[in-house]
């Protein structure tokens, strides 16, 4: 059965409802219940971990029996597991819903299978309505499900000869104001920003996302410090809008904890040793390299040892874009999958 015009309209509404929910550990999901004649009976959305899922939220607005023979329009496949809440697929079956239309399948092995369960109970099920729009909405959450951890972007600024600082250690500013504004824009798009204790103690970064006039962007990444050295009481990061998180050098446990906190996108800003550790452990999904037309010489490399000893071991990248930012260049690259190089 092909989706009706009313079902298309309802899915667009469900997507709007989904955006009301918080972005975090759980996906943003919206649901609309339609009568057999295509009228809206109820709406719902997921309001965060531990709260009713979108389908149950919508059903809760109806009297018992009102959903019998109805159609449920949902932006994500109804779940099929017992967590803090029961399976949405079962709730829809018990409510007497006769048809379920959802945009995209649940990629989580634990919660997926709702569509199959609904079909086994005799419910008419259709998948794929406005799938592209739902993918766009859930892009970062879906990435976390695929990777099993937050998406990691490693960023650094360097001179044309690959140096992050002059011989005396000074590094502000290698790049110009246009490139720095781009960095702050990307900080505002991240959920967390990571530096090592070495960079924090040497540069005392605020780790905020700021506009050209110095004001803070509406979205601020959570500051994350890697390393066991104490953060001074006077450190600028202590005045960040969000309390900073500190982890020892083990990256996998740190990323796992960030995922549990609802972090989808991590921006690694330094320094050279921390950046290299993410590269060395194959935890870098994207690179942002800001290149200034300057020569510094010396040994203050932008990236430390990444475990490459011969040219055959080079970590090959695919250049996604090159952009001129004032006098500087921004190179965006991603790792080439093994076997493709």
Upstream peptide bond of 291 is cis (omega within 30 degrees of 0): no
Whether the predicted pLDDT of 147 surpasses 80: yes
Whether the predicted pLDDT of 152 surpasses 90: yes
Read off the pLDDT of residues 181-220 as tens digits, 9 standing for 90 and up.
999 999 999 999 999 998 899 889 999 999 988 899 999 9
Q: What is the mean pLDDT of the chain?
A: 93
CA-CA-CA-CA torsion for 172, 174, 177, 179, nearest 10 degrees? -130
Residues in Cβ contact with 96 at an 8 Å cutoff, skipping those fewer than 6 apart = 65, 67, 68, 69, 70
Mean pLDDT of 4-27: 95
pLDDT at 104: 96
What are the C-alpha distances in Å from 187 to residues 149, 150, 193? Answer: 19, 15, 7
Note the pTM of the prediction, 2 decimals: 0.86
| Rounded percentage of the chain residues whose pLDDT exceeds 70 | 98
pLDDT at 123: 97
Read off the pLDDT of residues 258-307 as tens digits, 9 standing for 90 and up.
999 999 999 999 889 999 999 999 999 999 999 999 999 999 999 999 99
The domains found in the chain, sorted by start residue, are: 5-144 (3.40.140.10), 149-335 (3.40.430.10)
Whether the predicted pLDDT of 175 surpasses 90: yes
Read off the pLDDT of residues 73-113 as tens digits, 9 standing for 90 and up.
999 999 987 666 678 999 999 999 999 999 999 998 777 88
pLDDT at 110: 73
Whether the predicted pLDDT of 341 surpasses 60: no
Q: Which positions are catalytic?
A: 55
Token pair belonging to 139: 């892009």
């Amino acid at each position: 059965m092909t989706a009706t015009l009313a079902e298309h309209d309802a899915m667009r509404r469900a997507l709007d409802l989904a955006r009301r929910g918080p972005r975090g550990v759980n996906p943003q999901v919206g649901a609309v219940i339609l009568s057999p004649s295509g009228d809206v009976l109820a709406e719902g959305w997921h309001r965060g971990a531990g709260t009713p899922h979108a389908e149950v939220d919508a059903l809760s607005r109806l009297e018992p029996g009102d959903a019998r023979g109805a159609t449920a329009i949902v932006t994500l496949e109804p779940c099929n597991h017992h967590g803090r809440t029961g399976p949405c697929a079962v709730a829809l079956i018990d409510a007497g819903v006769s048809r379920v239309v959802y945009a995209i399948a649940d990629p989580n092995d634990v919660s997926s299978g709702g569509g199959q369960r609904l079909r086994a109970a005799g419910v008419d099920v259709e998948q794929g309505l406005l799938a592209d729009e739902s993918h766009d909405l859930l892009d970062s959450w879906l990435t976390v499900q695929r990777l099993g951890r937050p998406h990691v972007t490693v960023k650094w600024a360097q001179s044309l000869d690959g140096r992050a600082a002059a011989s005396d250690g000074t590094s502000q500013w290698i790049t110009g104001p246009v490139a720095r504004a781009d960095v702050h824009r990307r900080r505002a798009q991240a959920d967390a920003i990571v530096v090592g204790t070495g960079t924090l103690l040497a540069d005392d970064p605020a780790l905020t996302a700021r506009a050209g006039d110095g004001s803070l962007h509406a979205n601020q990444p959570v500051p994350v410090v890697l390393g066991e050295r104490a953060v001074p009481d006077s450190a600028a990061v202590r005045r960040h809008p969000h309390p900073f998180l500190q982890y020892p050098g083990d990256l996998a446990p740190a990323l796992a904890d960030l995922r549990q906190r609802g972090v989808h996108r991590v921006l690694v800003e330094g320094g050279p040793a921390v950046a290299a550790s993410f590269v060395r452990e194959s935890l870098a999904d994207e690179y942002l390299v800001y290149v200034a037309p300057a020569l510094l010489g010396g040994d203050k490399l932008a990236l430390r040892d990444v475990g490459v000893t011969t040219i055959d071991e080079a970590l090959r990248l695919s250049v996604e874009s090159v952009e001129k930012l004032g006098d500087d260049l921004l190179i965006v690259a991603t790792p080439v999958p093994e076997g493709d190089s």
